[in-house]
């Protein structure tokens, strides 16, 4: 599974690099020069791939981080295209030219916002799915206690252990009664 993690991080990096390039180019340039396209795209690709791999141990951790980055980058594409559209409006020319550039700018921003929201939505869905899928293998946290029968982590509110099928409520209340008798808080 290690290989899969690297391949997916690499592919995701390319996607992120594209959005980094588009976001920056829309804000910084009207006609982005080639050096900028190459630097921002490949730089963004490399940096993102490195960052989503760094500090993430499992494939699902890496995917969750990738989807979050992807949500932020694609969300940023909406204001970036709006900005690009206002920049492309040419107020110096004739009326026809101004109207033309307004329509053009409107189309660019409408298209950009649609793309932006679509990818933001898909990224958040992806993030949610990874988190949901991963809940099964989650490390015990403060909402979990060890089952009295099989020692597997179960929710505090659970009445029945999902690992061994034992009923937990009676044991739990006996335990807390016993603690109360001894004057201890659980």
Residue ranges that bind Zn ion, judged by CB under 5 A:
147, 149-150, 161, 163-164
Nearer of residues 51 and 149 to Zn ion, judged by Cβ:
149
At closest approach, how far in Å is the CB of 154 from Zn ion?
6
- The Cα–Cα gap between 36 and 167 comes to 63
* Minimal distance, residue 21 CB to Zn ion, in Å: 52
Q: What single string gives the DSSP state of each residue in 59-82? A: HHHHHHHHHHHHHHHHHHHHHHHH
Q: Which is nearer to Zn ion, 114 or 175 (CB)?
A: 175
Alpha-helix runs per DSSP H in the chain: 2-28, 34-53, 59-88, 95-134, 169-181
Residue 20 CB: number of other CB atoms within 10 A?
A: 21
Residues across the chain: 186
CB of 11 to Zn ion, least distance (A): 40
* Closer residue to Zn ion in complex, CB, 84/168: 168
Q: At closest approach, how far in Å is the CB of 173 from Zn ion? A: 17
Of 63 and 147, the one with the shorter C-beta distance to Zn ion is 147
């Amino acid at each position: 599974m290690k290989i899969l993690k690297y391949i997916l991080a690499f592919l995701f990096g390319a996607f992120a690099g594209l959005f980094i390039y588009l976001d920056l180019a829309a804000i910084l340039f009207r006609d982005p020069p080639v050096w900028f396209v190459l630097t921002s795209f490949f730089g963004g690709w490399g940096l993102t791939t490195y960052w989503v791999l760094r500090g993430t141990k499992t494939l699902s951790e890496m995917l969750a981080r990738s989807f979050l980055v992807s949500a932020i980058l694609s969300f940023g594409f909406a204001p970036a295209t709006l900005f690009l559209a206002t920049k492309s409006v040419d107020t110096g020319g004739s009326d026809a030219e101004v109207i033309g550039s307004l329509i053009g700018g409107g189309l660019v921003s409408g298209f950009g916002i649609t793309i932006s929201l679509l990818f933001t939505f898909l990224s958040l869905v992806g993030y949610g799915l990874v988190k949901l899928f991963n809940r099964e293998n989650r490390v015990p946290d403060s909402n979990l206690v060890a089952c009295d029968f099989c020692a597997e982590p179960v929710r505090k509110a659970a009445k029945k252990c999902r690992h061994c099928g034992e009923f937990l409520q009676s044991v739990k209340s006996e335990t807390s009664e016993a603690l109360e008798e001894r004057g201890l808080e659980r």
